[in-house]
Structure 1
Amino acid sequence: MTVVSRPPLTSDERTQLTGWLDLQRSFVRMKCEGLTEADAHRSVLSTSPLMTMAGLVAHLRWNEYSWFQLSLVGVPDTGQTPWTKDGHPDAEMFVDDVPLAQLLDEYDEECARSNATIADLSLDALEQGTGDDDPASLRYILCHMIEETARHVGHLDIIRELIDGATRYDWRTPA
């Protein structure tokens, strides 16, 4: 995924929401450019050892899947997710043996799947897979995913700076 531009200032709500989410998603790959495998998997925070560049990419991928596939459209989990009933709550971040390039490709594929899933849904469409009496709308999910992705892009930025001093934020690069 290449870095995309901000959505047009006067675009409709759907274009704004999906545009801001796509912009934040594009920063994930950008923050990881040029990392070695060792650096991608290096823990720089002693109190949060799973918070690595690779771990965050995996976390974001599985959040996409969880919100858009499992919760929104109700795709049943057939064991493909990293979570188990009594497993570690951050199991998706145990990726020491997975190459960063693979994690980034899986993230991009999941983002594309998410976009395809929501393409024909109303922003008022409600979650089908939660069994909850108070399901979230697609509008809520998009706002949440903008927040979730942007927060973790900030983490990626800080971790990258701690690893090698690299900083970059370029939202004006054309797609």
Structure 2
Amino acid sequence: MERVFPEGAADERAVLTGFLDWQRATVHRKVDGLPTELANRALLDTSPRMTVAGVISHLRQTEHDWFAGSFPSLADKPFERDQHGGWSTGGRAIADLLSGYATECAQSRRIVAQLILDTMQHFTPPQFTPVSVRWILTHMIEETARHLGHLDILREQLDGTRGY
């Protein structure tokens, strides 16, 4: 997956979607070549689900929750919320988790392409107030980048691989 920065004079949609796609591509780049046994290794006694595989699974679920969950009529399949936030991997191989993440990101792109940035969620969980597509894109940039920081640390601790 190639990383491309958005154009410096791009409009708001292109900047938001471009930076989110940059972060998504970096997720793939960060875990490229990591064996499944290392991807499932927990390094923090207090956070056993904080593994490379767990982060990838969580990012897939977060994409699903915010895009398919907010606009279920535009989703490819019925929306399913995971009460654990996607942190449980079910022992799946890292390649399968990355494939699932890529598929979910593609669905998210298709959903966003059908909406204007001011569109408010079609579904909002009862504990939240409705937010716009613009807000969701900005949040997903933040969420993905935050977890990329986790992947940076985990990857370096697992096999010494560093880099952005």
Taking structure 1 as the reference length, what is the TM-score of the superposition?
Answer: 0.86
Whether the 8 Å contact between 1:74 and 1:130 is mirrored in structure 2 is no
Give distance in 2, aligned partners of 1:131 and 1:93.
20
> Aligned residues, how many?
161
Corresponding residue SS for 2:107 = helix
TM-score by length of 2: 0.91
The percentage of counterpart residues that share the same residue type is 43
CA distance in 2, matches of 1:66, 1:79: 8
**Residue in structure 1 matching 2:117, options 108, 118, 123:** 123
- Structure number with greater CO (CA < 8 Å, separation at least 6) is 1
Q: How does 1:1-175 map to 2 (within 5 A)?
A: 2-71=1-70, 73-75=71-73, 80-83=80-83, 89-90=84-85, 92-130=86-124, 134-169=129-164
Long gaps (5+) in structure 2: none
Quick one: which amino acid aligns to residue 109 of structure 2?
N
Q: CA deviation at 1:51?
A: 0.4
Q: Which moved more, 1:124-133 or 1:56-65?
A: 124-133
Q: Could you tell me which runs of 5 or more consecutive residues in structure 1 were left unpaired when the two chains were aligned.
A: 84-88, 170-175
Secondary structure of 1:93's counterpart equals coil
Could you list the per-position Cα deviations for residues 21-48 of structure 1 after superposition, in whole angstroms to 9, with x for gaps in the alignment? 0000001111111111110100011121
2:69–2:79 contact (8 Å) kept in structure 1: no
